[in-house]
Amino acid sequence: DAGVIQSPRHEVTEMGQEVTLRCKPISGHDYLFWYRQTMMRGLELLIYFNNNVPIDDSGMPEDRFSAKMPNASFSTLKIQPSEPRDSAVYFCASSPFGSGGSYNEQFFGPGTRLTVL
Amino acid sequence: KQEVTQIPAALSVPEGENLVLNCSFTDSAIYNLQWFRQDPGKGLTSLLLIQSSQREQTSGRLNASLDKSSGRSTLYIAASQPGDSATYLCAVNGNQFYFGTGTSLTVIP
C-alpha cells in the first residue's frame, strides 16, 4: 500500500480564498483523522470519521472549516474563507479498527503545508 | 480533558548513549499509547504502539513501556545514533487521540 496520500503538499493562497485539502486513507482502514500542527499549539485533532461518518468535530476551530468523506477512499478539508492564522501543516491519518473497541495504530500522511498571505 | 506532557522538551546526547524519553498523561482510561518520530518538515512515523493491557513493546533499539496506573510511558533508545535525531511524540488514545508536545532529540556524532 502507498500509505496515506495527501494533496497538495504545499499551498499558498491569499486571505479570503477557498482552500481544499485532500486525503486518501490506507485501504481497509475504518478511521480517518484530520490534524493541524503549528509551533504555538502543537498537533491538534480537528475531526475524525468512522466508516465515512463524522464522529467528533469538536476540534474544528470555527464554521469556516468543514470536512467531508464521501466514500471510504477520499476525504476533504475545506477552509472558506481562509485567514492568515490558518497557516499551518495539516495532516491526515488513518487507522484500522482495534480489538479493544477503539481505533488502533495511526498512520500519517506527509501533510499539506498551508500558507495564507 | 486528557493532558499529555513530555519531558524534557529538548535533549542533546553524544552518539552511543542510551537515553529515555518521558510521557505522562492525566487520565488512565486509555485504549493504547503510540510513540511517533517526526523529522523536520515531514509527517509522523509510527514507532511503537502499546495496548492498555501491555506493559512494554520493543522494536530494534527501541523499547517503550506503559504504566497506566501512574499515567506514564517511557521510550528507551539504546546506543543512540545521529540518525535518531528527530522530534519524538507520544499520543494517548482514550476517547480521542491526545498528543504531547514532543521531545526534540539531537544525537551528536
What local confidence, expressed as pLDDT, does residue A100 receive?
Answer: 56
User: What residues of chain A score a pLDDT lower than 50?
Assistant: none
What local confidence, expressed as pLDDT, does residue A101 receive?
Answer: 57
What local confidence, expressed as pLDDT, does residue B96 receive?
Answer: 75
Please tell me the distance in Å from A110's CA to the nearest CA on chain B.
Answer: 4
Nearest to A102 among B43, B45, B93 (CB): B93
**pLDDT confidence band for B1 (50 / 70 / 90):** confident
- Chain A residues whose CB is inside 8 A of the B98 CB are 45
What local confidence, expressed as pLDDT, does residue B90 receive?
Answer: 96
Q: Which of A93, A67, A90, A89 is nearest to A80 (CA)?
A: A67
What local confidence, expressed as pLDDT, does residue B41 receive?
Answer: 84
Nearest to B99 among A42, A56, A104 (CB): A42
Q: Report the mean per-residue pLDDT for chain B.
A: 93
Per-residue pLDDT reduced to its tens digit, B36-85: 999 988 889 999 999 888 999 999 999 999 999 999 999 999 999 999 99
Nearest CA in chain A to B32: A104
What's the rounded Cα separation, in Å, for the pair A67 and A59? 12
Please tell me the distance in Å from B15's CA to the nearest CA on chain A.
Answer: 28
**Cβ contact B43–A100 (<8 Å):** no
Length of chain B: 109
What's the rounded Cα separation, in Å, for the pair B108 and A20? 41
What local confidence, expressed as pLDDT, does residue A116 receive?
Answer: 97
Q: Select from B5, B32, B52 the residue whose CB has the most chain A CBs within 10 Å, as the one to mutate to test that interface.
A: B32
A42 touches chain B (CB under 8 A): yes
What local confidence, expressed as pLDDT, does residue A93 receive?
Answer: 95
What local confidence, expressed as pLDDT, does residue A98 receive?
Answer: 67
What's the rounded Cα separation, in Å, for the pair A84 and A64? 13
**Cβ contact A109–B43 (<8 Å):** yes
**Cβ contact A45–B43 (<8 Å):** no
**Residues paired with B6 in a beta bridge:** B23
CB A104 within 8 A of CB A96: yes
How far is CA A50 from its chain centroid? 13
Phi, psi of A37 (to 5 degrees): -125, 125
Nearest CA in chain B to A3: B45
**Cβ contact A110–B43 (<8 Å):** yes
Nearest to A103 among B89, B93, B98 (CB): B93
- Chain A residues whose CB is inside 8 A of the B44 CB are 91, 93, 108
Decide: residue B77, CB within 10 A, 0-12 exposed, 13-18 middle, 19+ buried: buried
